[in-house]
Amino acid sequence: MGKSLVIVESPAKAKTINKYLGSDFVVKSSVGHIRDLPTSGAEKEEKPKRPKRFRLKV
């Protein structure tokens, strides 16, 4: 039988939970809120916006 995947929010939690679950589980961290992850592969990340530049008179 294959391994089960468990996703938690932080790497520290993943490490701790992995100790308790053992080798039948793979514990990974999302490094953020799971509800904010894309629901399908069709969703693309938006390009980061460039910071605005201002010209200041000195």
Report yes or no on 17 lying in a domain: yes
Q: How far is CA 5 from CA 17, 21, 27, 33, 46, in A?
A: 12, 11, 6, 17, 27
Report yes or no on 47 lying in a domain: no
pLDDT digits (tens, 9 = 90+) for 21-34: 989 999 999 887 76
Q: Give the total number of structural domains in the chain.
A: 1
Helix (H, G, I), strand (E, B) or coil at 36: helix
pLDDT digits (tens, 9 = 90+) for 6-52: 999 899 999 999 999 989 999 999 887 766 666 666 556 666 677 77
Quote the radius of gyration of the chain (alpha carbons, Å): 19
Q: Where are the alpha helices (DSSP H) in 1-58?
A: 11-21
Report yes or no on 11 lying in a domain: yes
Tell me which residue range forms the domain holding 1.
1-31
User: CA–CA separation, 17 vs 56, rounded Å?
Assistant: 52
The confidence score (pLDDT) of residue 15 equals: 93
